[in-house]
Structure 1
């Protein structure tokens, strides 16, 4: 089969559209014919091996541990493993391969517990945009922060892949939502349901108080974020952005400081760890089919042009999601 493969760390030029072996579904896996796959900051980090200590964590300091990039996909079930009873060939599905990756390909083998039926009202391209980003937003707001109706929620990075879902999810929970973004994306964030929009190029959101601060950017200090949350607020840190100039010390350092400080402050400081989940994908499907959440796609690229898509993601301040299509 054809796939986007990589043998060494580097920029988009390290990616190749070439033949690789077609995967086979294991006993607990589902073989999916991929119709669309979405880009995430994860793909950028794995492609470049940046930050370097992430290579050590994956046990691959010199070359990527996985050859084929990509986590998020939507497609049609081609075959199922012997232990899989929830799906059968022909089902339309979407899911997140997690750290195993392999979505930027014609076929991918996905653990059954990381796959769900595709929302009926979405195209494959729209569905592929959902899993990692929307699940991160769901876990940050519902599970980590416990957002309740009437609370004031701030989303820093509201026009990004996770942020566009976070704004909609917080509204669906009944919160008053403030979205932080740059000038050109203010209209989009309002359309997604934000009650207020702060243009970070003009105004400082940390001078006001919120019950929940969801930080998806890492461009403000932990002291400033804690001030915005107030003495009893919740600060949720997620460092999944694309960091330009080859430096991630700011966002990574912010998360590390948050981890160290948590035991010593009255505020709740949560460092968000996302995990693929069929249950969460089912929850998101229900919200999407009910019209409460809609994925936003910035651009689509054909699979062979994945390098150009990732270059756009890291250089052009892509908003919402970028998707590869078959």
Structure 2
């Protein structure tokens, strides 16, 4: 089979496109013919070595796929359209190939009528958002959620999922993204660069913020803790090298909590719960990507470069074999 793979960690230049032996499923695994995949920020972290995880070499890159079952097994029928969002990590080969082997407990059926090209673009951001809000943030209907960096892919998913869960959503984003963020259900959207931003947010949430999630990686914990409601939760999910100052005393006095979250550490059960929620929303017409660009898998290295340069704001690149 043809695949995008690496033989050592490094820059996007280490990515190769070529022939590798076709994968053979073992017990509890399913062979999938890949229809589409995409590139997530975590893929660049794994490829570069920023995110350390066991990888076999040569290593097929990529986390997400939609495909069809190549041979029946583990309760899946040949030809079924399926998806996975947790390959390419912890010893598992990746998805950027003509075929992939997927553990059956990480494989989910795609709802009828959902286009694979659109679905693969939203799985990783939306699963991240679901786990941040519900598994780690303990979101309840009627609470107030503050989403920083709401114009990005994960930020947009956070806004939509929080609004659909019955939360009041406040968001910060660049002005170019305000209309999009409002269309997803945000009650208020402010320019993240505006003077007096913290004071304006405090006025919009006089009882405090129940769940605070900032996807930008800036992590102004002084402002975040100041905005928290009693027993509010801050979920950290970006900035692997960030070392912000935490105002412990004010956090303590509010019964607040700070929770780090990396989706690659999610359990199989947590991922399956997120998949069920995402499938329901996809089947109902939700979670459609803002902008999709289509490229062949052979251009995976170039997409990694563009992602690292910040050239893909609000856009997802879908790769085809």
Give your verdict on TM over 0.5.
yes
CA contact (8 A) 1:4 1:18 kept: yes
Hey, what's the Cα distance between the residues in 2 that align with 1:109 and 1:280? 21
Residues 321 and 204 of structure 1: CA distance in aligned 2, closer, same or farther (over 3 Å):
farther
Instruction: Give the equivalent residue in structure 2 for 1:110.
Output: 102
CA contact (8 A) 2:232 2:254 kept: no
Deviates more, 1:289-298 or 1:162-171: 289-298
Instruction: Give the equivalent residue in structure 1 for 2:12.
Output: 12
CA contact (8 A) 2:67 2:81 kept: yes
Hey, what's the Cα distance between the residues in 2 that align with 1:231 and 1:278? 31
CA contact (8 A) 1:298 1:319 kept: no
CA contact (8 A) 2:230 2:254 kept: no
Instruction: Give the equivalent residue in structure 1 for 2:36.
Output: 36
Hey, what's the Cα distance between the residues in 2 that align with 1:258 and 1:281? 36
Aligned pairs for 1:111-190 (under 5 A) are 111-190=103-182
Deviation at 1:232, TM superposition (A): 2.8
Hey, what's the Cα distance between the residues in 2 that align with 1:233 and 1:321? 32
Instruction: Give the equivalent residue in structure 2 for 1:323.
Output: 318
Residues 289 and 205 of structure 1: CA distance in aligned 2, closer, same or farther (over 3 Å):
farther
CA contact (8 A) 1:155 1:177 kept: yes
Instruction: Give the equivalent residue in structure 2 for 1:244.
Output: none
Aligned pairs for 1:164-313 (under 5 A) are 164-203=156-195, 205-207=197-199, 208=202, 209-239=208-238, 248-250=240-242, 253-254=243-244, 266-274=255-263, 275=266, 276=268, 277-313=271-307
CA contact (8 A) 1:258 1:270 kept: no
Deviation at 1:175, TM superposition (A): 0.9
Deviation at 1:102, TM superposition (A): 1.1
CA contact (8 A) 1:36 1:324 kept: yes
Deviation at 1:321, TM superposition (A): 2.8
Residues 29 and 145 of structure 1: CA distance in aligned 2, closer, same or farther (over 3 Å):
same
Residues 198 and 66 of structure 1: CA distance in aligned 2, closer, same or farther (over 3 Å):
farther
Instruction: Give the equivalent residue in structure 1 for 2:80.
Output: 91
Hey, what's the Cα distance between the residues in 2 that align with 1:32 and 1:205? 48
* TM-score using structure 2 length: 0.86
Deviation at 1:171, TM superposition (A): 0.8
Hey, what's the Cα distance between the residues in 2 that align with 1:66 and 1:165? 33
Question: Structure 2, unaligned stretches of length 5 or more?
Answer: 203-207
Deviates more, 1:212-221 or 1:40-49: 212-221
Deviation at 1:147, TM superposition (A): 1.7
Deviation at 1:264, TM superposition (A): 9.1
Hey, what's the Cα distance between the residues in 2 that align with 1:264 and 1:150? 23
* TM-score using structure 1 length: 0.84
Q: Which runs of 4+ in 1 moved over 6 A?
A: 256-259, 261-265
Residues 104 and 266 of structure 1: CA distance in aligned 2, closer, same or farther (over 3 Å):
same
Residues 205 and 144 of structure 1: CA distance in aligned 2, closer, same or farther (over 3 Å):
farther
CA contact (8 A) 2:122 2:287 kept: no
SS at match of 1:74: strand
Residues 269 and 3 of structure 1: CA distance in aligned 2, closer, same or farther (over 3 Å):
same
Instruction: Give the aligned length.
Output: 304
SS at match of 1:249: coil
Deviates more, 1:315-324 or 1:159-168: 315-324
Hey, what's the Cα distance between the residues in 1 that align with 2:196 and 2:315? 23
Hey, what's the Cα distance between the residues in 1 that align with 2:119 and 2:283? 11
